[in-house]
Amino acid sequence: MEAVDGNAIAGQLHQHFGTDMTTARGACAHCGARAMIAELAVYNQAPGAVARCRACGSVVMVVVEIHGTTGVNYAGFHLERT
């Protein structure tokens, strides 16, 4: 399975957060590597999308759409406050 970048989930994140999130920065909760969401490795060939840290490979975000509602779990990615 080949990864794409975080831009692949830009629309779903915009729907959930109400703003462009691809340039939002954060840190992997597992290894501390900092990155923009656009730089994450995204696997979207499942019912949802899984974003992984490019440094350590840990899951940092899961995006699913259920009955027209987008759900985002980003417990593994600590968003930086701007």
Q: How far is CA 58 from CA 15, 37, 42, 54, 68, in A?
A: 24, 14, 11, 8, 27
Each residue's pLDDT tens digit, 32-65: 999 999 999 999 987 899 999 999 999 999 999 9
Q: What is the pLDDT of residue 81?
A: 82
CB 12 within 8 A of CB 22: no
Q: What is the pLDDT of residue 47?
A: 86
Worst-scoring range by mean pLDDT, 2-6, 31-35, 66-70, 73-77?
66-70
Report whether pLDDT(82) > 90: no
